[in-house]
Structure 1
Amino acid sequence: MLLQFLAAAGVLAVLTMVPGPDMAVTTKQALTSGWQDGLRTVGGITAGLLVWGVLTVLGLAAVLAASATAYTVVKLAGAAYLAFLGVQALWHSRRGRSGAPAPGAPAPAGNPWRTGLVSNLFNPKIAVFYTGLLPTLAPSGLSPQTGMALLVLLHALLTFVWLSGYVMLLARARAFFERPAVRRAMDRVTGIVLIGFGIKVATTQP
């Protein structure tokens, strides 16, 4: 059972490190508002994974994955939200907005934790991932519900550690990213990537 769990951890670690909407949203928040808001965004994303995990254990995620109508509604909402974040980043670059706010300055509008949570909850591919792949990785020596719950917790932990480390890496290069030209370029790249992920989410099938 231990070997099965370690193998599952390896698979989840690889999947966690593959760039996707969560990383793009984290990048936008960290570069726009600073590393603190970047970590808050990671917290929201992690909370979203836990919500999906609870829905999976209860069997509700399988209903979403199997329902074409429900899947389409969630994926279009998620695609629209990612596109909105992308357009917002492009707008910031057009205005020449620089990186994190100066000390004492008002924080940018929006709640980074909520941004991470909403972007994650509106990604129906997680429901497909949890209901389709996780059961095949669950250790055979445990009940299906217990095995799934452990893997969801492991995936949430890996995601939190990976994205938090990524945010701190961006923070170490803060001086570079706060250069006006670099800031505008990163806003544009991040905006385009977010819009691209929005289109990808909108056009994918369960």
Structure 2
Amino acid sequence: MENFYWFIVMCILLIILPGPDTAITTRNTVTAGTAGGFKTMFGTCCALFIHTSAAVFGLSAIIVKSALLFSIFKYVGAVYLVYLGFKTLWGLRNKQVAAAAETSVKGKYENQSCFKQGFLTNLLNPKVAVFFLTFLPQFVNPGKDSFLPFLIMGITYTVLTAMWFVFYIYLLNQISAFMKKPRTQAIFEGITGTVLIGFGIKLALEKAHN
């Protein structure tokens, strides 16, 4: 493995850039609290472990080199992101002030789906598979076995992602009084829903890599 420290620096820069994972984590933290944010984060990290395993065992190469498989992953991921976006916007339309007991039940229901949302948002994004296959090899010695280096770098990326989201979720929680105002939540959910739809459309319009 070469330039591991540069790999860490690049990972940090890439992780903090806003993307679908950040959008869904923000939405779930604002609407379901830190519990929702952490469940979303765990879902994202579980999906990253799957991407790491796929890269290590060569499945990512198959996906990237196959236009059909890439397209399947791309469109399924795009549809799911657009679905989450419309679901968020639709929730704004039907939002009403609930009683404390009703809010508690709703909060529990939302927390149960946060893990799945974080997991599927990351897993169904083929750009993550492309990232692992095109970015990781730059830090591996050519001509040598890449199994262990890929595994180490994949785990490192996942750990750094978890660390960033822990900080990010706690940051959102620190300003929770502001974030939990109905008007603030409506604005953030509206922005998040729009962003998710935008990411989904952008993903769907991207050309497959041959």
Output the TM-score relative to the length of structure 2.
Answer: 0.90
Q: Distance in 2 between matches of 1:111 and 1:36?
A: 11
Separation of aligned partners in 2, 1:135 and 1:102 = 52
Q: Is residue 2:76 matched to residue 1:45?
A: no
SS at match of 2:125: coil
Supply the RMSD in Å over aligned alpha carbons. Answer: 2.2
Q: Is the 8 A contact 1:61 1:127 kept in 2?
A: yes
**1:183 is matched by which residue type in structure 2?**
Q
Corresponding residue of 1:167: 169
Runs of 5+ consecutive residues of structure 2 not aligned to the other structure: none
The Cα of 1:103 is off from its aligned counterpart by: 9.4
- 1:43-91: per-residue Cα shift (whole Å, max 9, x none)? 0101101100001100011100111111111111111111111111112
Aligned to 2:118: 116
The corresponding residue for 1:155 is 157
CA distance in 1, matches of 2:141, 2:167: 28
Residue of structure 1 equivalent to 2:4: 5
State the partner residue of 1:145: 147
Structure 2 residue 131 is matched with structure 1 residue 129: yes
Are 1:46 and 1:117, in contact at CA under 8 Å, matched by a contact in 2? yes
Q: Return the alpha-carbon distance in structure 2 between the equivalents of residues 103 and 166 of structure 1.
A: 28
Report how far residue 108 of structure 1 moved: 2.9
Cα distance change of structure 1 residues 97 and 124 upon mapping to structure 2, 3 Å threshold: farther
CA drift at 1:104:
7.7
Aligned residue for 1:14?
A: 13
Q: Distance in 2 between matches of 1:4 and 1:58?
A: 23
CA distance, structure 1, for counterparts of residue 184 and residue 141 of structure 2: 46
Deviations 1:101-138 (A, max 9, x none): 87981123452111111111100011111111111123
Contact 1:75 1:123 in 2 (8 A): yes
Matched length: 204
**How far apart, in 1, do the equivalents of 2:96 and 2:19 lie?**
25
| Residues 187 and 102 of structure 1: CA distance in aligned 2, closer, same or farther (over 3 Å) | farther
> Identity over aligned residues, as a percent?
32
Give the alignment partner of residue 177 of structure 1, picking from 154, 179, 186: 179
- After the TM superposition, list the runs of 4 or more consecutive aligned residues in structure 1 that deviate by more than 2 angstroms: 95-98, 101-104
What is the aligned partner in structure 2 of residue 199 from structure 1?
201
CA contact under 8 A between 1:41 and 1:114: conserved in structure 2?
A: yes
Determine the structure 2 residue equivalent to 1:77.
76
**What is the DSSP-based 3-state SS (H/G/I as helix, E as strand, rest coil) of the residue aligned with 1:108?**
helix
Does residue 1:66 correspond to 2:68, yes or no?
Answer: no
Unaligned runs of 5+ in 1: none
Q: Give the partner amino acid of 1:26.
A: T
| Cα distance between partner residues in 1 of 2:115 and 2:18 | 20
Distance 2:65 2:50 in 1: 18
SS in 2 for 1:119: helix
Q: 1:57 to 1:177 in 2, by over 3 A?
A: same
Cα 1:175–1:97 change in 2 (3 A) is farther
